[in-house]
Every structure is written in structure tokens, then in C-alpha cells.
Amino acid sequence: MTMDNLKTPKIALGTWAWGDSGETGDGYFGSLLTRAGLEEIADKAHAAGFTMWDTAVVYGMGRSETVLGEVLKRYARSDYQLSTKFTPQAAGTGENPVADMLEQSLARLDTDYIDLYWIHNPADVMRWTPHLIPLLKSGKVKHVGVSNHNLGEIERADQILGEAGFRVEAVQNHYSLLYRSSEDAGILNYCRNQGIPFFAYMVLEQGALSGRYSPENPLPEGTNRAQVYNGMLPQLKALTDKLASIGQKQNAAAPDVATAWAIAKGTTPIIGVTRPGYVDGLVRATSLVLSSDDIAALEALAESANVNTRGWWEKEMQV
């Protein structure tokens, strides 16, 4: 069986916060998103050549997928790529929970195939990985990847897929200046050596590294991200100031530099886009040049911020 290689974009677009849109959002981000605003984001992104959209069933429990599907209706299906996930914790009790969850995603996204389908976390690698094989064979899923898996779990998933002539084609983990567990555990190196694209999520730490938020102007009260990050904001100031000053020299802003750092480390950042103007930042991030001194200074400040931003759903990546 032959496989087309997965085409990896420079930056992918994240839509977890889109689960907050409308009246039934889950309030995780506290983003006030309107349908017209999301359409404007999509138009700007597509005009700039960013066309891979990452979502998951559990972002707003279907809300993100539904809204994304509605917004993308304005383009030909071949003009964008969809990335969504099977979340083991949300599996149904039928005979084929992965196929069932995929069918629900296809319906919400109003499509008949997913470009890149992920196992969201390594709840049970031996149990869930084999379920991807018939989906690949049917063509409903073009490429597969694993998310939140440690090195041993990635290798195990790759072996299971390999026995059927497929492979792990992408890895998606939390990776930012503040959270480099995948790098420390050798996953970045492994991916580079195997030619597997590494998709970095939460590169901006849900806005805490954007420079927009400070102790005087914290993340929206009452949201999950406020609970996680607001207490850290004083420790992040030196780092976000440095991101801004490096950016200034190239007419760019702090989040653009944080994104460019992730690109310089060989990853494909998935950036959560909640405002049309943020797309301009993605364009700037792809042309920013960071010197090795810039990178070293940012990493040193990140280290001395001394914060742990591991998500509640994540495990340390050390094998």
C-alpha cells in the first residue's frame, strides 16, 4: 500500500477556543467569538496560505468542530486540511468506538474525510492504535498521528501501524518556551531523525506568553486558563518583555517571536487563532530571523521564570 506523504505547513491553526463560541461554549478560554469574526479569521488565514485547521471532539464538546465546519464551507474541500482527534476518554460503548467518533466528527465538519487524525492521548496504546488501520484503508482518514504520547508510546504505536504498512506520520505535544518536556525526553530529536513532523501546541501558553496579559490585565476571570496562568504572570514579565524587544527590531510582536522560536526549534506550531489580526502575527513569525543569542536569552529567561505549565491532562514526557 502506498501513502502520500503528509504535507506539513509552516504553522497550523488551533481552534480549541472556538469551542467557546456561541452560547454553548465551555468557557475554557472566555473568548468572545462571533461567527463573522471567525469567518474573517478564516479568510485572512487562507489568503495568507495557512490552511491546516486543528480541532477535537472535546473542544466545547463538538462546538469547535461544528463551527469550524460551518466557517470552512466557503472554501473548496481541497483548499484546506482538517486535523481532528479520537479522545479515548470520550469513547462510546459500541463495537468500534474510534470509527463511531470519527463518523460524528465527519458529520459535524460536514466532510467525508479527515486529512490528519490523531489519537488524542495514550490512555491505552495497544487498544486504540489498531482501530486507525481500517480508517486509513477506507480513505476516511488520510494520515494519522499521536498526541501526548511519550517516546516509548510513539514507538509502540508506530510498530502497531507498521505491521499493517502504515506509520505514525506526526506527533503533537505541548511545546513552548515554558514547557520543553518533549525536547528533554528526546522526542524532538526522534522526530527529526525519523522525518516525522512534530506539531507543537500551546506555544503561546494560551495567551500567557503573548504579552497581552499582565497582573494588571489578567486572563479573563472565571476561565480555566485564568486559573492556571494568572498566578504566574509576575514571573513571566521578564520573558514577555524580551520577546517584545526582540520582535521590535524586526517590526514584530512578542507572540510572533514565541512562534518563531518554535519554528526555529524544528517544530510546526499550532497557534490558537481568536482574532483576525493574529493572522498577521503568523505571517511575521514565518519570516522572523532569531539569532542563536536571541534563542539562548529567551530560553534562559524562560528557565528562570521557574513555572510549570504542564496541562492537567498531560504527563511528563520522560521515559
Ligand X SMILES: NC(=O)c1ccc[n+]([C@@H]2O[C@H](COP(=O)([O-])OP(=O)(O)OC[C@H]3O[C@@H](n4cnc5c(N)ncnc54)[C@H](OP(=O)(O)O)[C@@H]3O)[C@@H](O)[C@H]2O)c1
Q: Which is nearer to ligand X, 120 or 140 (CB)?
A: 120
Closest distance of CB 69 from ligand X, Å: 15
Closest distance of CB 88 from ligand X, Å: 12
Closest distance of CB 134 from ligand X, Å: 23
Q: How many CB atoms lie within 10 A of CB 61?
A: 14
Q: Which is nearer to ligand X, 27 or 94 (CB)?
A: 27
Closest distance of CB 238 from ligand X, Å: 18
Q: Which is nearer to ligand X, 14 or 60 (CB)?
A: 14
Give the residue among 117, 27, 24, 54 at the shortest CA–CA distance from 272. Answer: 54
Supply the DSSP string of 199-232, one letter for each residue: EEE-TTGGGTTSSS--SSSPSPTTSHHHHHHGGG
Task: Show the cell assigned to 176.
Answer: 513552548
Mapped onto helix, strand or coil, the DSSP state of residue 137 is helix
Closest distance of CB 29 from ligand X, Å: 6
Q: Which is nearer to ligand X, 164 or 311 (CB)?
A: 311
* Binding-site ranges for ligand X (CB under 6 A): 14-17, 29, 31, 54, 120, 147-148, 172, 201-207, 210, 212, 255, 270-272, 274, 278, 281
Contacts 24+ apart (CB under 8 A), 155-163: 156/125, 156/126, 156/129, 157/119, 157/125, 157/129, 160/125, 160/126, 160/129, 160/130, 161/129, 161/132, 161/133
Closest distance of CB 260 from ligand X, Å: 12
Q: Which is nearer to ligand X, 24 or 138 (CB)?
A: 24
Q: Which is nearer to ligand X, 164 or 250 (CB)?
A: 250
The Cα–Cα gap between 161 and 117 comes to: 13
